[in-house]
Amino acid sequence: MDLLLILTYTAICIAIFKIFRIPLNKWTVPTAILGGVFIVGALILLMNYNHPYTPFAKEYFVSVPINPAVRGVVTSVEVKPNVPVKEGDVLFRIDPTPFRAVVKQKQAALLSAEQEVPQLEATWQSSVANVDRATADRDRTKSAYARYAKGKIKGGPNSPFTELELDDKRQLYLASEAQLTMSLAEELKSRLAFLSNIDGVNTKVAEIQGQLDKALFDLKMTVVRAPSDGMVTQMALRPGIVAVPMPLRSLMSFIPDEERYFAGAFWQNSLLRLKEGDEAEVILDAAPGQVFTGKVARVLPAMAEGELQSTGALISSQHLMQRGRVIVLIELDDNAIRNNFPAGVAGQAAVYTHYFSHVAIMRKVLLRMQGWLNYLFH
């Protein structure tokens, strides 16, 4: 663009020399050259400093890699490439047969588990009855043993109860005590099994219900739908391909129908004047002679050239030699670029600040001249 300004000045000088028939001598030619150096140099400095320009600008968009959540054979592809779709529209389907089988298995297991809950309750009630019976038996044998022991002590050598009978009663009492302990343990076990709940649901039932929910989710994921409004482009997916849920190998790229920004890479010293909300203009290589207006939406707060990550490797000094440019996002006023050109078109951009606004006219003229050159060059 600076070359355009120099050529314009040269053309004006030639026209003045021709129209006014100024002679070419040692005074007029150096004067025109030196005047051009000062005038053009001052204009270029003022223009580049206060109204920055970049030849590196491009529209950026985000694509969504479509990866299946389950593994299976693709049975049908229902989306057409480069045709807009709505959120929730079917993109492709995976064979649901194995997932339906798993759902049936889990449904049967859930029904069986739900039927086991009354059985657990009955087992618990039975163990409670066993505890009551063991308690009564323990009390009976304990009373008999106490009566024999008391009679043995009271009768002395003349007691009608022999040592053998007393020992039998004691052994019966100890056996009933052990039986009561075992019944209590069984009652505790059956009670814990019956009362083991999560949010009021038996744990086994809840576990199988979770497995059924997972199986139903997997079955639902056999139908892959559009995550938002948008379209699929450059699609190579065909029926018969085995879909694998691998994030590094997507089956198709989905372009959401969302707001896009035009990004330009400006010199770092442009930050002295660039501010959010400044007027901006964009020209495209694909649209010679057209100028698209907008404003600065955002000056990105970080530059990739200064990024460091913990990798265990030393940083080369060459990394410090990469100066980099500041990325500025430009929000265009209308959807002319979005509606008439493919996503990702490249061009050039200029930003006009409120400093030396009269110089901005020259920048606008030069930008349009550069746009006209796109008829010839690319």
Q: What is the pLDDT of residues 181-198, one digit of tens each?
A: 888 888 787 776 666 666
Most confident residue range from 63-72, 192-201, 245-254? 63-72
Residue 117 confidence (pLDDT) above 70: no
Domain identity same for 23 and 130: no
pLDDT at 156: 65
Mean pLDDT for all residues in the chain: 84
How much is the pLDDT for 172? 82
Q: Which two tokens stand for residue 142?
A: 């304990």
The reply to whether 193 and 141 lie within a common domain is yes
**Number of domains composing the chain:** 4
Classify residue 302 by burial, with Cβ atoms within 10 Å: 0-12, 13-18, 19+: exposed
Q: Can you tell me the distance from the alpha carbon of 207 to that of 197, in angstroms, rounded to the nearest whole number?
A: 10
Q: Kindly state whether residue 255 falls inside one of the protein's structural domains.
A: no
For residue range 233-242, list pLDDT tens digits in order.
Answer: 888 899 999 9
When computed from its CA atoms, the radius of gyration of the chain, rounded to whole angstroms, is 44
**Residue 212 pLDDT grade (very low, low, confident, very high; cuts 50, 70, 90):** very high
Which domain does 233 fall in, by range? Answer: 66-93+223-247
Least confident window among 2-16, 144-158, 345-359: 144-158
In this structure, the answer to whether residues 109 and 212 fall within a common structural domain is: yes
Higher pLDDT: 127 or 287? It is 287
Residues 264 and 377 in one domain: yes
Tell me the β-bridge partners of 347: 57, 284
Give 297 or 177, the one with higher predicted confidence: 297
CA angle 140, 188, 204 (to 5 degrees): 150
**Same domain membership, residue 238 and residue 290:** no
Confidence (pLDDT) at 261: 82
**Which stretches does DSSP call E strand in 115-222?**
197-198, 201-202
Q: Do 270 and 363 sit in the same domain of this protein?
A: yes
Same domain, 356 and 372: yes
Q: SS3 for 361?
A: helix
Same domain, 108 and 42: no
- Tokens of residue 247, six digits: 């994030």
Q: What pLDDT, on the 0 to 100 scale, is given for residue 194?
A: 62
Per-residue model confidence (pLDDT) at position 205: 75
What is the structure's pLDDT at 374? 84
Instruction: Report d(CA 74, CA 71) in Å as an integer.
Output: 9
Q: Stretch 288-314: mean pLDDT, rounded? A: 88
- Looking at residue 186, its pLDDT comes to 81
| Banded model confidence at residue 84, pLDDT cuts 50, 70, 90 | very high
Residue-level pLDDT at 200: 67
Section 153-167 average pLDDT: 66
Higher-confidence residue of 39 and 76: namely 76
What pLDDT score does 292 carry?
93
Asked if the structure places residue 232 within a domain, the reply is yes
